[in-house]
Each structure stands twice: as structure tokens, then as C-alpha cells.
Amino acid sequence: MLFQRNFLGLALAAGILGLASCNKGGGDFTKAKSGFEYKLFKSEGGKYSEREVAPTGDPTYKDRLGKILALNVEYRTAKDSVLFNSRKAQMGVPMRIKLEELKTKGGLEEALSLLQPGDSAVFRFNVDTIFAKSFKAPVPPFMKKAGNTMTMFVKADKLQSEQEAMADQQKMMEEQQKKMMAYAEEQIKKDDVILQDYIKKNNLKAEKSPSGIYYVVNKAGTGAKPKQGQTVAVTYKGSLLDGKVFDSSEKQGGKPIEFPLGVGQVIPGWDQGIALLNKGTQATLLIPSTLGYGQRGAGADIPADAVLRFDVELVDVK
């Protein structure tokens, strides 16, 4: 979707913005009538100074209705743990939000209405209030455990028409794609050196697929190989090359995971690696980072550019 509204929904589904210092200086928070607290900073000649807003809100917001605001966002818990960073999650492409008439006070929408292009801001919300007003959902237990507040750091960039925003985003995505492809070409060479060294040290008899996956058949199956679109059932244990297990069938209740093969519901290394196996085969898949979780990594357990090992069994092909 081009214009996102539910920031935290995106964050919880998956670097600092350079605004953390704003939270430590520049005086106390101002409290909006609706309850949330904020600090606003305007940029003047490359330096930031506080910007005041009338208690009734920003009267110029009406002039921005219908426009698209490009911005970068970071969420943190009350314990200052980073929940989501849009620069990292979107590989440097800013989020784009369509500014609409305020229907709810005290939530994210009202906070964004205070921003003008070039502004930086820190917003602090009560977690019960923000989830009730902006997300229409209960507060996740881990956030309640962290404390009663959620902080949002924002750097507002451009204000554009929908047509301008779509053209700008398309251009940025094309540039990003070129950078990612160039990065992947170099990274897969590095990953291959790591994998070959790992295979040698562990005396593995591995075969290599054209895409760069190494696989070891530990027990050959007698069934047919699955085809694209068929549903497969797989038991697995996923680990880093240092042996740290990050996921397994046992952790997920002991049952095989089922998914249609080759349609992108799993990482490319799985779509391609499972397709190499006959039904009933037990194997080890050694997957380069470019066919795993790439530059982003995944959560706290899988770092960026991590080469992965999966010990799998293709239990069934449906």
C-alpha cells in the first residue's frame, strides 16, 4: 500500500532517526488538550529550535488536508526499547501518509496534524489510550509490562500531492532496487566463502544448487519431488552457523509447517531448497543470506546478512 496509516500495525507485523537527542533537551513536554505530550522542533539553517503550537492545534493543518506527508518514524516502549524503525524496515524509503480530516483526538492522527514539512518531533502517548483510539485493539502484554507510555519519534520530510508522491516513491523504489541488487551480488560471494568453510570444517557432503543453496541429504526419501503450488508439510530446526537455534517445529507445537511451494509465503531459500527434495527426505539446507532474511535480518535472533542452516524433513506433499 502506498499511503500507510497504521504505523504500529506495520511495525508489529516486523537505527535511530537522529531524534533521540531531542528527547533529552529543549525543555519539558507540552501536553495537548486530548492528553498526549509532545515536543516540536523546526529546522532553521540546519539547526533545530522548538516550535510552539496553539492549544487548539495547528490552524494551518486545513491547508494540508489531502496532501501526502513523507516521514520517518520510530516507536519505543516506556523502557526505551525500539519497537519499530521505518528507515530500517523500509530500507531507507520514507513512509507516506495521506493527511485527512481529524475524526479522533488524542491519537496518532492528531499528533501528525501538528507536523509541518521539515519538522522533527517527539510524541508520548498513554498506551491504553493510543491502542484504544488509533488501533482499536488491546495493548499487547509485552508493552504493558514495559510501562504505561509509548514514544514516537518523527522526522517529517516532504509534503506532496498524491501524483507527486507516487512518482517520487516509484523513483526511490527503483533506486533502492538497484542498490539492493548490487549489494546482493557482492553479499552472495561473501556468503559462499562462509558456507564452503563451514562445509569443510564440518565434513559435510553437500551439493550446490544453481542459486547458491547447499544441501545435504541425510536420509533419502522415495516419494516424488514437490511442484510449484503444491502444499508441502515440513518439520524443521533453524539455526545460525554458530549453532544458535532461532526456530523449530518443536517450538511451534511439534507439528509440521504447511505452505504452498514457490509462491513466496516463505523465504526464497525454503521455496527453492524444499523443491530439491523427494517426499520423505531428511536434509540440511545451508542458505545464503540473500535467500534468507537479507540485510534486514529478522527480530532479535537473526542478524543482518546471516547465513542460515535448516535441518528439515519433507513429511508430505499434498
Confidence of residue 86 (pLDDT cuts 50, 70, 90): confident
Rounded to whole angstroms, the Cα distance separating 121 from 113 reads 12
Identify the residue with better confidence: 180 or 226: 226
Any idea which fold 7-160 has? Chitinase A; domain 3 (3.10.50)
Confidence of residue 308 (pLDDT cuts 50, 70, 90): very high
Lowest-pLDDT choice from 40-44, 276-280, 313-317: 40-44
Dihedral, 116, 118, 120, 124 alpha carbons, nearest 10: 20
Least confident of 9-18, 114-123, 262-271: 9-18
Q: b/e string for 112-122 if b means 16 or more Cβ within 10 A?
A: bbbbbeebbbb
Write down the pLDDT at residue 83.
86
Q: Where are the domains of the chain?
A: 7-160, 202-317
Domains 7-160 and 202-317 share a fold: yes
Summarised one tens digit per residue, pLDDT across range 248-266 is 999 888 899 999 999 999 9
Q: If pLDDT is split at 50, 70 and 90, which confidence band does 285 have?
A: very high
Cell reading at 203? 565434513
CB atoms within 10 A of CB 191: 23
Higher-confidence residue: 152 or 89?
152
Tell me what pLDDT residue 27 has: 55
The average pLDDT across 213-229 equals 95
What is the rounded end-to-end Cα distance, in angstroms, of the chain?
A: 33
What size, in residues, is the chain? 318
Closest C-alpha to 297, from 250, 240, 220: 240
Indicate the fold that domain 202-317 takes in CATH. Answer: Chitinase A; domain 3 (3.10.50)
For residue 295, give the 3-state DSSP assignment.
coil
DSSP bridge partners of 258: 233
Work out the number of other CB atoms within 10 angstroms of the CB of residue 7.
23
What is the average pLDDT score of the chain? 87
Average pLDDT over residues 287-313: 92
C-beta of residue 305 within 8 angstroms of C-beta of residue 289: yes
- For 97-115, how does the pLDDT look when each residue is reduced to its tens digit (9 = 90+)? 999 999 889 999 999 999 9
pLDDT in tens, 12-71: 333 333 344 344 444 589 999 999 999 999 988 778 888 888 878 899 999 999 999 999
- At residue 15, the pLDDT reads 31
Q: How many CA atoms lie within 13 A of 143 on its CB side?
A: 23
